[in-house]
Amino acid sequence: MSDTIQAITSKLWAMANELRGTMDASEYKNYILAFMFYRYLSEHQEQYLAANKVIDIKKGESINDAYARQAGIEELADYLEDISSSLGYAIAPADTWESLLQKINEGQVIPSDYQDLFDHFNANAERNAAAEKDFKGVFNDINLGDTRLGSSTNERAKSLNNIVKLVNGMEYKREDGKDILGEIYEYLIGQFAASAGKKGGEFYTPHQVSQILAKIVTQGAVKKDAFFQLYDPAMGSGSLLLTVGQELPAGTPIKYYGQELNTTTYNLARMNLMMHNVSYTNMTLSNANTLENDWPDGPDSKGVDRPRSFDAVVANPPYSAKWDNRVSKLKDPRFSDYGKLAPASKADYAFVLHSLYHLNETGTMAIVLPHGVLFRGAAEGKIRQTLIEKNRIDTIIGLPANLFYGTSIPTIILVLKKRRPTKDILFIDASRDFIKGKNQNNLSEDAIKKIIQTYLNRHEVDKYAHLASLSEIKKNDYNLNIPRYVDTFEEEAEIDLTEVNRQLEQDNKEIAVLEAEIKEQLKLLGVNP
């Protein structure tokens, strides 16, 4: 992260902490990040109005004033239709960021005005049917009546106004003029996740882990004219999707697909992708239960293509979550080829099979899971054996403990492919390569490079990696627990008994001398030892 971003975000973070008072960081993020997004949308619209000469700006007149003047004279609906058809959304002159600031400075804003702001945004999102799903409801879970913002209407208005002023006071361009708002937004998401503790694990994959998954699933990718299609079935804030996109060759066209059950987090993902300049036309995100609501086959009711398979699939799903594993799901094509369903109390393999089902024949999938998937028996053991026999498991990477915000347990990265030239499995034990942190452990750049280089080289590394043959895995009854394959035991140095005896003898002599000196001192004091 650049010094500019560090300076901006550190200041913003300190001020945000001061403003939030007793509100939990996991909830306060909804206000800060939502208003950042609203500012982005409003200013993005201004750029469109000016660049496309939609409005006539008079000398000394701001873009916002020109927009308000012309839309006030002519038909406002025409302007909103024009903007929405191009941007996917539209903000009326009275609801722009600049207009909101003017009202705040004039003391004319109360909490219900913010509700009107968001209601108007939702109504205008309906003007573009193709974009409605991407924009409508993105601000719906902002609780404007939360008493932690203030016990009275005036106090809550003051708190909301202070957040707007805080966001407005943020500079988000580097000295060279490049917009770094997306990078600031991403950094703040990580900060809120860290402060939220266990709740933070619900929506954020640490960037270092995201980098490993991204580097693995993009290996061999080359810039092409066709879209690289990327899917995350438990996308959280969308950070993992973005990290993979950034790892692809510059200029590669990308389509982002993702599902997220939590509505607040789903809204966060929508904002996050767009703040990173991902067009709504290049993202298909769904607020749904991945294990219950699979992607539809072919075009949807609006004629939009929903591909069943993707070039890369990445995931960091909730570990050992509960799910509905009723017997009828054995008819579901995602699970039907494996004879068993993941246990109701542990959905880990349900996420694995769902993700693998949506991977294309030449793609790579990487998913973060708890260690138990490697050795647990019963239905999970049967699914694991079938995956091995079908030659789907490519690599297993053991990660250090305490890397994630939601749990301190050590985790693994499971890499799967549908088309593999060999039937071996690479085991990498990276569990000891970490930098100890106060609350969380971290992976260094060197540790990440070592993992990726070992993954690419695919050969033995003493005390670190082992390439296991299928016969070796069968001998272990399809148990994939990493210590069975990677011996990290360090032999202790041999003890020289002769040297130990010599040291003991020397110690005894020194003790005898000290005891004699003590006895002599006691005699001088008239004390009988």
The Cα–Cα gap between 20 and 32 comes to 10
- pTM score, whole prediction: 0.87
Q: Which helix (H) or strand (E) holds 298?
A: strand 298-299
Would you tell me the crossing angle of helices 239-247 and 263-275 to the nearest 10 degrees?
30
Instruction: Assign 406 a pLDDT band (cuts: 50, 70, 90).
Output: low
Across 83-93, average pLDDT: 96
Higher pLDDT, 493 or 64: 64
Is the pLDDT at 93 greater than 70, yes or no?
yes
Contact assessment for residue 216 and residue 364, using Cβ atoms and an 8 Å cutoff: yes
- Please report the pLDDT score of residue 2 as a whole number: 64
Q: Which helix (H) or strand (E) holds 365?
A: strand 359-370
Instruction: Assign 440 a pLDDT band (cuts: 50, 70, 90).
Output: confident
Backbone phi and psi for residue 311, each to the nearest 5 degrees, phi listed first: -70, -30
Q: What angle do CA 431, 436, 437 make, to 5 degrees?
A: 130
- Please report the pLDDT score of residue 181 as a whole number: 81
- Please report the pLDDT score of residue 491 as a whole number: 56
Higher pLDDT, 384 or 28: 384
Q: The tokens of 119 are what?
A: 């209601």
Contact assessment for residue 411 and residue 405, using Cβ atoms and an 8 Å cutoff: no
pLDDT in tens, 239-296: 999 999 999 999 999 999 999 999 989 999 999 999 999 999 999 999 999 999 887 7
- Please report the pLDDT score of residue 67 as a whole number: 94
The Cα–Cα gap between 370 and 374 comes to 8
Across 219-232, average pLDDT: 88
Instruction: Assign 173 a pLDDT band (cuts: 50, 70, 90).
Output: confident
Instruction: Assign 527 a pLDDT band (cuts: 50, 70, 90).
Output: low
As beta bridge partners, residue 468 has 425
- Please report the pLDDT score of residue 515 as a whole number: 79
Mean pLDDT score across all residues of the chain: 89
Instruction: Assign 528 a pLDDT band (cuts: 50, 70, 90).
Output: low
pLDDT in tens, 445-502: 999 999 999 999 999 999 999 999 999 999 999 999 999 999 875 555 667 778 778 8
- Please report the pLDDT score of residue 197 as a whole number: 63
pLDDT in tens, 335-382: 999 999 999 999 999 999 999 999 999 999 999 999 999 999 999 999
For residue 302, give the DSSP letter.
T
Helices (H), 21-110: 25-51, 63-73, 76-87, 97-105
Domain boundaries, the chain: 3-198, 208-484, 494-529
Contact assessment for residue 416 and residue 394, using Cβ atoms and an 8 Å cutoff: yes
Q: Which helix (H) or strand (E) holds 216?
A: helix 207-217
CATH code of domain 208-484: 3.40.50.150
Helix/strand/coil (H, E, C) string of 103-132? HHHCCCCCHHHHHHHHHHHHHHHCCCCCCH
The Cα–Cα gap between 72 and 87 comes to 21
Is the pLDDT at 47 greater than 90, yes or no?
yes
What share of the chain has pLDDT > 90, as a percent?
A: 62
Q: Residue 397's closest CA among 417, 411, 379, 376?
A: 411
CATH code of domain 3-198: 1.20.1260.30
